Amino acid sequence: MAETTTIRISRDTHARVTRLAAERHETIDETVSNAIRALRQDAMARDLAAEPTGDETAWLDADAG
């Protein structure tokens, strides 16, 4: 296992993560890593779904030649 550290979370959150990890047949570390990845992907999807700014539109419309 890689180097580890401790983070403080409530007992309720710990129980929820432990339960979720067991349901997914993963370690707690894998479950937390997957949750972080999903949150990052969600943020990227929101960014991509937003209307482009003026600068972005200009860049997209620029002549590539």
Torsion sign (Cα): 21, 24, 30, 33: negative
* One pLDDT digit (tens) per residue for the chain, 65 residues: 679 999 999 999 999 999 999 999 999 999 999 999 999 999 999 999 999 898 988 888 888 77
Tokens of 46: 């929101």
Evaluate whether 32 touches 43 at the Cβ level (below 8 Å): no
CA dihedral of 56, 60, 62, 64, whole degrees rounded to 10: 140
The 10 Å Cβ neighbour count of residue 31 is: 19
Domain count, the chain: 1
Domain that holds residue 16: 11-49
The verdict on residue 34 lying in a domain is: yes
Q: What is the DSSP-derived secondary structure letter of residue 25? A: T
pTM recorded for the entire structure: 0.73
The verdict on residue 4 lying in a domain is: no
The verdict on residue 30 lying in a domain is: yes
